Amino acid sequence: MNTASTVHDRLEEASHAGQGNGAPSSLDRRLVVVSNRIPLSWVQEGGHLTTKPSSGGLISALEPLLKAHGGLWVGSAGSEDSAEIREQLESAAKQHAYRYTPVFVTADEQVNYYEGFSNEVIWPLFHDLQSRCVFEPRYWDFYQRVNRKFAEAALAETEQRDVIWVHDYQLLQVAHFFREQRPEACVAFFLHIPFPAPDIFEKLPWRRQILEGLLDYDLIGVQTARDERNLIACLRGFLPHYKIMGRGRRHSVLGPQGETRIEAMPISIDYRDFARGASADTVVERMASIQKQYPGLHIAIGIDRLDYTKGIPERLRAFRALLRDHEEYRRKITLMQVVVPSRENIPRYQELRSQIEQLVSSINGDFSEPGWTPIEYMHHSVPREELLAMYRSADIALITPLKDGMNLVAKEYCTAHVENSGVLILSEFAGAAPELGAGAILVNPYDEVGVACALRQAIEMEPRERHQRMLRLRRQIRNADILGWRDHFFAALENLPERKAAQA
């Protein structure tokens, strides 16, 4: 079965022809994206409900593809269905070439499926933080229930020939329920977070069900070669009767469900769009304004969603170590730390925010001097234009997650530095590290002294070395941008075998 060669060819033709966003799709096989949320949020304006675009790595990666080539996005639209919400979705869809199919998740489902299993089981476990897991049996029951709900929503709106592309850890089991009704459909999956090693994954009480559900997909994409190795090792260890073939970053798994391809394909950003936006006059003006606020200072920037995997307290302690142990760097550097609100109704995230703010207050209290505040802390979302100006203003990006599937902020920061300036300090546990290691300063985020030394190295780095490093980083991102990721995915779908069970 030539599953997606026509899709891939048409996408190539559209790209080379310069087809812009919003153009009608000419694909012979429709692309259907299934994710936890549709890329919209609702706000009340003047007593009326209206929509606005949402943000996030998944949305920034996928929405340009659907805007350019059409299709369907299936995702949660809140807890209550209403004619007003559906009218807003139809109105929003008129602005581009793809449509929305909403899934309505009840408040009870949200607590147990999303806040529970997704974010108190899978999220910490897959980030090697199993001590934070809460293995509550009802979470698993709700997780299956909601994954079935997403599968049924996709089934109702799709046809046999559609390519169904499911995304991320909240929806690991969608293909299992989808195939109950449409066993020969083309259903693929991409995991945006890391996949853990067997000694971590084995803690999961439902490890076998998760792995077997994953193998209901035709294709599984993961971020890095390490994630691919971990997944294959888990399959070998926990499903020993399955046959695994291949080497390197590509494997095939043959079992009772049929054949599944597994491949590492790191996600990226729209390089040209980010570079173009960073060069806009309004961004340049705002950049100059920000830099005037910190005359003679090196500006380091950290931009993170509020999450314990991002290593924000560890980063702040490393910054404190720099100021404590090296007085010569006081009044020489300021850290702008932006924390974007996330999951604030979960107690552990509330505790994390409090911990971060106490650290900021303590560091500023210990080291501030008239005219200089060590840390400028912001707890809010940042509009795109402001974000680009902040990237360009910063001499140093301090991106130190404890574990990350990829980390698109690192790629955005480098792309925004159109003059090939700036220094990237990057955690070696970020998925982006293998790609960006040649130009970044790699650090262990748990090593407080090591991160402080990396900051010293960045401050003292000669302009020539800064330029050469950033040139390498930007070249790498340009050559492996979101279009390359998209093409990699569709190329991997080509010539997949018929979905049929293996012979005994």
Catalytic residue among 216, 304, 395, 404, which?
Answer: 404
| Model pLDDT, residue 25 | 32
Whether the predicted pLDDT of 103 surpasses 60:
yes
- 13 or 425, which is more confident? 425
Topology agreement, domain 5-215+484-493 and domain 271-479: yes
- 250 or 345, which is more confident? 250
Which homologous superfamily does the CATH classification assign to the domain defined by 271-479? Glycogen Phosphorylase B; (3.40.50.2000)
Tokens of 496: 């997949």
Sequence-separated (6 or more) residues with CB below 8 Å from residue 389: 283, 286, 287, 289, 290
Whether the predicted pLDDT of 395 surpasses 90:
yes
Q: Which residues pair with 443 in a beta bridge?
A: 427
Q: Among residues 161, 44, 43, 149, which one has the least CA distance to residue 101?
A: 149
**Rounded average pLDDT over 468-474:** 98
Contact yes or no for 99/127 (Cβ under 8 A): no
Q: What is the spatial distance between Cα 63 and Cα 39, in angstroms, rounded to a whole number? A: 8
Q: Is 380 a catalytic residue?
A: no
Catalytic residue among 69, 192, 417, 488, which?
Answer: 192
Percent of the chain with pLDDT over 90: 73
Tokens of 24: 């009608």
Distances (CA, A) of 110 to 170, 340, 384, 455: 11, 21, 29, 41
Q: Does domain 5-215+484-493 have CATH number 3.40.50.2000?
A: yes
Helices and strands, number each (H, E), in the chain = 20, 17
| Cβ count within 10 A of residue 19 | 18
Residue with tokens 């109702």: 156
| Model pLDDT, residue 128 | 97
Q: What is the 8-class DSSP label of residue 503?
A: P
Give me the helices (H) in 18-78, please.
Answer: 57-69
Q: Is 192 a catalytic residue?
A: yes
* Amino acid (1-letter code) at residue 366: D
Whether the predicted pLDDT of 23 surpasses 80:
no
269: left (phi over 0), alpha (psi -120 to 50) or beta: beta
Decide: residue 324, CB within 10 A, 0-12 exposed, 13-18 middle, 19+ buried.
middle
* Amino acid (1-letter code) at residue 304: D
Which phi and psi (to 5°) does residue 327 adopt? Answer: -60, -25
| Model pLDDT, residue 482 | 86
Whether the predicted pLDDT of 174 surpasses 70:
yes
Tokens of 269: 């950003």
Residue ranges per structural domain of the chain: 5-215+484-493, 271-479
Tokens of 418: 């159109």
Which phi and psi (to 5°) does residue 117 adopt? Answer: -65, -45
Tokens of 277: 């936006």
Q: Is residue 87 very low, low, confident or very high in pLDDT (cuts 50, 70, 90)?
A: confident
* Amino acid (1-letter code) at residue 141: D
Q: What is the spatial distance between Cα 494 and Cα 86, in angstroms, rounded to a whole number? A: 35
Q: What DSSP assignment string belongs to 25-43?
A: P--SS-EEEEEEE-SEEEE
Q: What is the 8-class DSSP label of residue 24?
A: P
User: How confident is the model over 351-364, as pLDDT tens digits?
Assistant: 999 999 999 999 99
pTM of this structure? 0.91
Sequence-separated (6 or more) residues with CB below 8 Å from residue 347: none
Angle between helices 57-69 and 408-416 (to 10 degrees): 70
